[in-house]
Amino acid sequence: MYSTAFLDLPPLQGAAGTVRLPGSKSISNRVLLLAGLSEGTTQIHDLLASDDTRVMLDALRALGCRVDERADAVAVTGIGARLQVREADIFLGNSGTSVRSLTAALAVLSATQGGRFQIRGVPRMHERPIGDLVDALRPLGCPITCLAKEGFPPLLLGDGAAHSLQLDTPIRVRGNVSSQFLTGLLQALPLAASSRDVEIEVVGELISQPYIAITLNLLERFGVLVRNENWSRFVIPAGSRLRSPGVVHVEGDASSASYFVALGALAATGDAPIRIEGMGESSIQGDVRFVDAAVAMGARASFGPNWVEVSRGAWPLKAVDLDCNHIPDAAMTLAVMALYAKGTTRLTNIGSWRVKETDRIAAMATELRKLGAVVTEGPDSIEVTPPAAWQPAAIHTYDDHRVAMCFALAAFNPLAGARVPVRILDPKCVAKTFPDYFETLFSVSRAEADDIPVITVDGPTASGKGTLASEVAARLGYHFLDSGTLYRATALAALRKGVAATDESGLAALARQLPVRFEGQTLLLDGEDVTQSLREEAVGNLASKISAFAAVRASLFELQHGFRRLPGLVADGRDMGTVIFPRARLKVFLTASAAERAERRHKQLISKGISTSISDLRADLEARDARDKTRSVAPLKPAEDARLLDNSGLSVEASVEQVLQWWQECQAFG
């Protein structure tokens, strides 16, 4: 997951390959709640691991459910419809599914068995309406107090006393603000249906009907067969009881799939499609129908039971005029696909966007305009005309995972003849439903090597370039290459294999096939962790000598270039800016004095319990400097266009800030 302040996406050119979807959020949270209320233990496979499911799991634990999180499955032992605790204060973040369904369930349980439960969330959750659900539950005899503002969380459910529920007349709920209210009631009312039918009547239009279909499907798996009378009346038959089905497999998330369906439609050309695994024609999620919308815009798609393959059909895409009531979440992806269409795309019947994680109509309009699109916002619709000239844009994401995920597709603007980077602010908001979204996207996306940004940090030994470069990489979410490690690894391999320090061609052969692999900051040589051994003096000394051989340097060239991967790279060494990445957009050359560097290394060694003299260290550093600077190939020197940074008097943080400031100045974002 990227927890950086922003993530810059360079212009992307194409895509192909296979992605596996994380578990469906809608299914995961419904299954968790039903498992938590049921009798028995449910083994849940492929459960989504994300913010929204974590708050639900925490809530179940607080209510006395046993939760075992294992590698292959999460096991939830339910409360069997009997309250195990009478009071709890439950925080549910910004998870709408959790708030709506726990509100209904705890309202019914606390009213009938006596209890008091508080439901709270983040500030945005306290702006998301829940009045229709409260209004449906109160006439039943459920005591509910809105603690801040009428019709909004936080809520207090129950008053500690047990009451009998008024079930003689049908429970009436409005269906046109959020289908989650009806889902909440459908999941909660089996708790009150032991001795009589319970009827629910939908008042007005029911939006997002496919989500109700998921609810009914899962209730059936948990032993409750709801009678659906034309999507306007639902009857939970007398004697209904929630019982664990034992094992449940969660499908991949069809809303998350929409980004990759769109990706295939935009960027999978030739005969290599984007293959999406975890969702297919037997899916119970309404958002599989997003594929039809993508096809209407020009995508080519084929389905299997548990997969979809998508590639580009018509190009440019075709503008559509589409009622999106049945695919409210995935429809945001259409608004971004519209950037690549010929003409104006109109998405209608999306009023529910206004009460989601953010006001999504306003958010989409504002951010699409930043890219240069012409956007008209209606009360429950949006119209998008592609940019005449694309602008680089820093996309605000409003703590809304879907805004972040769909706008990443704007980085494919080279396919529309542009070449601008797209910055996604606060990329970690994708953790709500798809923590590894960007990694997954990068794994199937292609950029031109020259478009993948590189920052080089060169400098003499012990100048602190490794610390600086790795911190800059962490702050930008970029990959990090400590090229010195590769020379050291070659030296270590030579020592182990008995290749002489003077055998240039033997050393070069070793370097060409160097069996190294990085796992984070750990370097594996032949599968063995050699991170410590590489820092030994003997290894460093040999590295310094063999790095003077042209053939060794040439052998390591490709290996170093292989680190230039999406979304970017920070590389440190001696010749990163001069030889390896001469066209890097930002080059930094460190110039700390020998005295200062000797002192730093001295402190470092002392802290490790190794005693040395500063003057010996300094002599050693100067000898290495001399060797690095005077060798005939790739001598240590600043690139002509390098920025010099004397960090002798600077803290690490100050040096990092300086480099990040230079980097901002090289960027196209305002």
Which residue ranges make up the site for ligand DC (CB under 6 A)? 461, 483-484, 487-488, 540, 543-544, 547, 573-576, 624, 628
Closest to ligand DC by CB, 325 or 560:
560
Distance CA 623, CA 500 (A): 21
DSSP of 601-667, one letter per residue?
A: HHHHHHHTT----HHHHHHHHHHHHHHHHH-SSS-S---TTPEEE--TT--HHHHHHHHHHHHHHHS
| Nearest distance, CB of residue 575 and ligand DC, angstroms | 5
| Nearest distance, CB of residue 628 and ligand DC, angstroms | 6
Closest to ligand DC by CB, 278 or 573:
573
Closest to ligand DC by CB, 372 or 573:
573
Sign of the dihedral through C-alpha 61, 65, 68, 73: negative
User: How many other C-beta atoms lie within 10 A of the C-beta of residue 555?
Assistant: 21
Torsion angles phi and psi, residue 93, rounded to 5: 55, -130
Closest C-alpha to 658, from 591, 602, 596 = 591
From edge to edge, which strands make up the β-sheet containing 374-378? 321-323, 345-348, 381-385, 374-378
CB distance 351 to 380 below 8 Å:
yes
CB distance 191 to 112 below 8 Å:
yes
Closest to ligand DC by CB, 398 or 487:
487
Per-residue CA distances from 43 to 26, 105, 159, 572 (Å): 17, 21, 34, 48
Catalytic annotation on 329?
yes
Tokens of 242: 């929630």
Closest to ligand DC by CB, 121 or 573:
573
| Nearest distance, CB of residue 655 and ligand DC, angstroms | 17
Tokens of 636: 């240590």
Distance CA 538, CA 495 (A): 9
Which residues neighbour 562 within 8 Å (Cβ) at sequence distance 6 or greater?
none
Q: Please tell me whether residue 590 adopts helix, strand or coil conformation.
A: strand
Distance CA 276, CA 215 (A): 24
Which value, to the nearest 10 degrees, does the dihedral of the CA atoms of residues 654, 656, 662, 668 take?
A: -130
CB distance 456 to 577 below 8 Å:
yes
| Nearest distance, CB of residue 18 and ligand DC, angstroms | 35
| Nearest distance, CB of residue 458 and ligand DC, angstroms | 7
Among the listed residues 287, 329, 400, 458, the single catalytic one is: 329
Look at the block and give the residue holding tokens 């449910």. Answer: 42
Closest to ligand DC by CB, 399 or 536:
536
Residues in the chain: 670
Closest to ligand DC by CB, 38 or 483:
483
Look at the block and give the residue holding tokens 């959790």. Answer: 98
Closest to ligand DC by CB, 365 or 454:
454
Closest to ligand DC by CB, 222 or 581:
581
Look at the block and give the residue holding tokens 């606060």. Answer: 426
The CA angle 386-388-390, to the nearest 5 degrees, is 80
Name the β-bridge partners of 327.
Answer: none
Strand 155-157 to strand 445-446: parallel, antiparallel, or no bridges (unpaired)?
Answer: unpaired
Closest to ligand DC by CB, 186 or 469:
469
Look at the block and give the residue holding tokens 């936080």. Answer: 154
| Alpha carbons within 13 A on the beta-carbon side of 167 | 23
Q: Please tell me whether residue 610 adopts helix, strand or coil conformation.
A: coil
Closest C-alpha to 340, from 355, 362, 361, 320 = 320
| Nearest distance, CB of residue 563 and ligand DC, angstroms | 12
Closest C-alpha to 659, from 465, 460, 482 = 465
Q: Please tell me whether residue 599 adopts helix, strand or coil conformation.
A: helix
Closest to ligand DC by CB, 283 or 655:
655
| Nearest distance, CB of residue 302 and ligand DC, angstroms | 48
- Maximum CA extent, the chain: 94
Which residues neighbour 537 within 8 Å (Cβ) at sequence distance 6 or greater?
none
Tokens of 228: 């659906």
| Nearest distance, CB of residue 297 and ligand DC, angstroms | 48
| Nearest distance, CB of residue 647 and ligand DC, angstroms | 15
User: If DSSP states are collapsed to H, E and C, what string results for 79-124?
Assistant: CCCCCCCCEEEEECCCCHHHHHHHHHHHHHHHHHHCCEEEEECCCC
| Nearest distance, CB of residue 27 and ligand DC, angstroms | 50
Q: Please tell me whether residue 240 adopts helix, strand or coil conformation.
A: coil
Closest to ligand DC by CB, 83 or 454:
454
Distance CA 527, CA 171 (A): 64
| Nearest distance, CB of residue 521 and ligand DC, angstroms | 13
| Alpha carbons within 13 A on the beta-carbon side of 626 | 6
| Nearest distance, CB of residue 656 and ligand DC, angstroms | 18
Active centre residues (catalytic): 329
